[in-house]
């Protein structure tokens, strides 16, 4: 059992679009990272581009490794009561609620957040607006005042905040930086004067969790970009779509100075077509999209499989189908990623479970794609794309491309681009390689690449067989088991962003005396059958929680293994909830049949 000692708090800052909610959350998490804490953070914002929709920034700060956001927050900060009131119930007993106790206009009964604070929660009302106005002659720095207040109340070091504020506003006028520092200091002064009644503690107690390298705060999308850049990405073609857009935006800034080719295409079909073309020429090429974009890309993805072209496609899932829930998370594109497209088009699908995993999978994706001459899909979701975590980047040039050994033409033999070899991987020449001219087509083809449908069975076997060794790709974690070893009562099988909640659940279940293991599966195609079978053999019951209605991963693994699983499906647009998984684990541990609930297919046994 992992004992969580020292600091482990979660702050939720809630406001309206335009209140600076996300900005204050950003400063808080970066300052916390600078203080040496582990940070996990996730922002929720409205689907409207502009307007007054609700924004929430949730930040978990811990002195030991945390794996997910907590269901309950320790501190709720309200920058807009109408938006924050529904979240008061998420604050734990003896946690703190911070709010403005001087409104500018009158509200009816219940319109102020203080009306909703429960007796066991601690109210901290203060004049956020007035403090901002006194410090800066403007109410615009309310979001910075609350940071100062928290720093004062919880006795946090001030300088990391000031450093991040200076950095965040570095491109603005000096007066903007000065005003924000003044607002922060005014908040500190106010917070220090308050007698602390909550039991929220912030102190660094544990040792260094790092691997020796310096911790960096980044989002899942940011981690993908960093991994791509360290892997020497050469070509990127993309079309914007939430929640993948920030990958494109960042690469647009970072690639050109490094000599990379970046192009925003007219749509997703063009984007992947260009990426296939670039990959064909030997360029490290990628595109990024979401579920609707992947649906459009399916045909060209099939070309990549058929033509055995290495490329990387990042898919950040959101609620679907169709336009669906653009700013809400879901894990419902698994089937599309693994099976989508015409024909038997097996590809490699990697689904990292945390931000560090995004970085490492992105860093290795090109190498994997080139090794097996196949498109690699990096399947993440909005919760992972936008989630901040502290990451310890690889040391040195771990993902740099290895020097390519030029292929030499064999004398007297024609070059067979799709030669059937023992490994099923064919020698790959690039266009322009002397003496290695060849044909590449989307039609079924023979070893030379010439259209030929008589060899379809052999080529189908080749395209599938060549991928099997990918589960042993050096340095890549395709699956990993946590918790109790040997036979266990309940095993929790998970993938993607929800694995953090699964891991937290497993530790809680262990603390309750339940023999429990959890296994993350990073490689969804091909599946790591050996480790999956071993896991199943050890588990009396296997629970598969995932963020979709159908239980797509549960269906994938139970179909592959021919073994039953208990599904826990959640399609609410919000991340998985530890409490809900734990309830199911307890039920399974007790031997109770998991009820089949209508509407969300919870408890369905496949």
Partner 1 sequence: MGAGLHNVIIGSGSAGFGAAMTLRASDPNCRITMITMDSLPFYHRYDLPQVFRGKQDWRDLLDVPPSHYDEMGIKLRRNSCVVDVDGAKQLITLAHQENVAYDRLLVCAGGRSYVPENLTGYAGLMHGFGSFEAAMRVYRDLPKGGTAIMIGGDMIGIDLALTLLEMGYKVALITTPQTFWPHEVSADEQSHLLRALEAKGMKVYEHSRPVGVARNARRKAATCVTLEDGTEVKGNVVMSFCGLASSVEFMLGADVDIERGILVNPELRTSNDTIWAAGDVCQIWHDREKAYKFYHGWQNVRVMGELAARNMSGTHEIFDVDVENRIGVDKQGEISSTFWIH
Q: Which residues bind partner 1 (CB under 8 A)?
A: 93-94, 100-109, 111-112, 114-115, 117-120, 122-125, 195, 197
Task: Please state the closest distance from residue 128 (CB atom) to partner 1, in A.
Answer: 11
Q: Which is nearer to partner 1, 118 or 204 (CB)?
A: 118
Q: Are 35 and 204 in contact (CB under 8 A)?
A: yes
Residue 125 sits at φ, ψ, to 5 deg, of: -95, 135
Q: What distances in angstroms separate CA 250 from CA 258, 293, 350, 399, one per listed residue?
A: 13, 19, 22, 19
Task: Please state the closest distance from residue 152 (CB atom) to partner 1, in A.
Answer: 15
Cα distance between residue 539 and residue 19, in whole Å: 49
Count of CB atoms within 10 A of residue 437's CB? 14
Task: Please state the closest distance from residue 100 (CB atom) to partner 1, in A.
Answer: 8
Task: Please state the closest distance from residue 81 (CB atom) to partner 1, in A.
Answer: 10
Q: Which is nearer to partner 1, 100 or 268 (CB)?
A: 100
* Helical packing angle, 142-153 and 174-192, nearest 10°: 40
Q: Are 512 and 545 in contact (CB under 8 A)?
A: no
Following CA atoms 217, 219, 221, 222 in sequence, which dihedral angle do they give, to the nearest 10 degrees?
-20
Residue 81 sits at φ, ψ, to 5 deg, of: -65, -40
Q: Which is nearer to partner 1, 127 or 452 (CB)?
A: 127
Task: Please state the closest distance from residue 200 (CB atom) to partner 1, in A.
Answer: 14
Q: Which is nearer to partner 1, 115 or 170 (CB)?
A: 115
Q: Which is nearer to partner 1, 112 or 602 (CB)?
A: 112
Q: Which is nearer to partner 1, 195 or 486 (CB)?
A: 195
Q: Which is nearer to partner 1, 94 or 267 (CB)?
A: 94
Closest CA to 529 of 506, 499, 496, 562: 562
The pair of three-digit structure tokens given for residue 214, joined into one six-digit string: 């310096």
Task: Please state the closest distance from residue 4 (CB atom) to partner 1, in A.
Answer: 22
Cα distance between residue 399 and residue 180, in whole Å: 39
Cα distance between residue 175 and residue 169, in whole Å: 10
Task: Please state the closest distance from residue 196 (CB atom) to partner 1, in A.
Answer: 9
Cα distance between residue 385 and residue 398, in whole Å: 23
Helix (H) or strand (E) holding 566: strand 566-569
Closest CA to 252 of 237, 272, 230, 269: 237
Tell me whether the omega of the peptide bond preceding residue 321 falls within 30 degrees of 0, making it cis: yes
Q: Which is nearer to partner 1, 124 or 280 (CB)?
A: 124
Q: Which is nearer to partner 1, 124 or 415 (CB)?
A: 124
Cα distance between residue 283 and residue 278, in whole Å: 5
Task: Please state the closest distance from residue 13 (CB atom) to partner 1, in A.
Answer: 20
Task: Please state the closest distance from residue 108 (CB atom) to partner 1, in A.
Answer: 6
Task: Please state the closest distance from residue 181 (CB atom) to partner 1, in A.
Answer: 24
Q: Which is nearer to partner 1, 108 or 432 (CB)?
A: 108
Q: Which is nearer to partner 1, 64 or 192 (CB)?
A: 192
Task: Please state the closest distance from residue 528 (CB atom) to partner 1, in A.
Answer: 48
The pair of three-digit structure tokens given for residue 455, joined into one six-digit string: 């060899």
The pair of three-digit structure tokens given for residue 589, joined into one six-digit string: 């541990």
> Which residues are paired to 285 by β-bridges?
235
DSSP code per residue over 176-238: HHHHHHHHHHHHHHHHHTSPP-S-------S---S-SSPPEEEEHHHHHHHHHHHTT--EEEE
The pair of three-digit structure tokens given for residue 236, joined into one six-digit string: 């990127």
């Amino acid at each position: 059992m992992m004992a969580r000692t020292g600091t482990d708090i979660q702050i939720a800052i809630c406001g309206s679009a335009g209140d600076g909610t996300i900005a204050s959350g950003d400063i808080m998490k970066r300052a916390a990272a600078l203080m040496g804490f582990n940070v996990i953070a996730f922002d929720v914002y409205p689907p409207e581009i502009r307007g007054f929709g609700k924004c929430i920034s949730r930040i978990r700060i811990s002195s030991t490794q945390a794996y997910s956001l907590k269901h309950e927050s320790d501190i709720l900060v309200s920058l807009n009561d109408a938006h924050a009131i529904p979240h008061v119930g998420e604050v734990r007993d003896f946690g703190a609620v911070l709010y403005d106790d001087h409104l500018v206009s009158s509200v009816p009964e219940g319109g102020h957040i203080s009306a909703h604070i429960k007796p066991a929660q601690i109210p901290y009302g203060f004049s956020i607006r007035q403090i901002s106005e006194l410090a800066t002659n403007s109410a615009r720095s309310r979001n910075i005042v609350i940071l100062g207040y928290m720093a004062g109340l919880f006795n946090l070091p001030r300088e990391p905040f000031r450093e991040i504020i200076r950095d965040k506003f570095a491109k603005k006028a000096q007066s903007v930086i000065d005003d924000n520092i003044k607002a922060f200091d005014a908040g500190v002064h106010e917070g220090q004067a308050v007698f602390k009644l909550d039991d929220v503690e912030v102190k660094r107690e544990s040792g260094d969790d790092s691997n020796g390298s310096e911790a960096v705060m980044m989002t899942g999308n940011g981690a993908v970009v960093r991994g791509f850049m360290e892997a020497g990405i050469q070509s990127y073609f993309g079309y914007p779509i939430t929640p993948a857009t920030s990958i494109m935006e960042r690469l647009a800034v970072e690639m050109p100075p490094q000599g990379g080719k970046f192009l925003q295409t007219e749509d997703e079909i063009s984007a992947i077509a260009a990426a296939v073309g670039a990959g064909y020429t030997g360029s490290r090429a990628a595109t990024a999209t979401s579920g609707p974009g992947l649906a459009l890309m399916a045909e060209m993805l099939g070309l990549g499989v058929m033509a055995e072209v290495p490329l990387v496609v990042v898919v950040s899932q959101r609620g679907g189908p169709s336009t669906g829930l653009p700013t809400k998370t879901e894990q419902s594109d698994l089937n599309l990623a693994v099976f989508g497209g015409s024909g038997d088009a097996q590809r490699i699908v990697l689904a990292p479970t945390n931000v560090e995993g995004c970085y490492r999978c992105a860093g290795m994706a090109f190498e994997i794609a080139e090794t097996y001459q196949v498109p690699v899909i990096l399947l993440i979701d909005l919760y992972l794309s936008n989630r901040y975590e502290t990451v310890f980047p690889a040391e040195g040039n771990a993902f740099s491309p290895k020097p390519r050994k030029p292929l030499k033409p064999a004398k007297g033999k024609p070059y067979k681009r799709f030669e059937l070899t023992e490994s099923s991987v064919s020698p790959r020449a690039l266009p322009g390689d002397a003496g290695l001219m060849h044909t590449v087509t989307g039609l079924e083809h023979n070893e030379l690449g010439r259209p030929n449908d008589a060899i379809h069975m052999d080529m189908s076997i080749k395209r599938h067989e060549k991928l099997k060794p990918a589960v042993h790709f050096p340095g890549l974690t395709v699956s990993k088991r946590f918790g109790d070893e040997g036979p266990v009562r309940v095993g929790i099988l998970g993938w993607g962003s929800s694995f953090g909640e699964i891991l937290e659940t497993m530790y809680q279940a262990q603390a309750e005396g339940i023999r429990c293991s959890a296994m993350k599966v990073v490689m969804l195609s091909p599946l790591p059958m050996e480790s999956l079978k071993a896991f199943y053999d050890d588990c009396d019951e296997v629970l598969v929680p995932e963020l979709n209605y159908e239980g797509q991963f549960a269906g994938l693994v139970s179909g592959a293994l021919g073994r039953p699983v208990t599904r826990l499906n959640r399609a609410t647009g919000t991340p998985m909830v530890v409490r809900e998984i734990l309830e199911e684990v307890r039920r399974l541990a007790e031997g109770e049949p998991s009820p089949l609930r209508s509407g969300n297919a919870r408890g369905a046994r496949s």
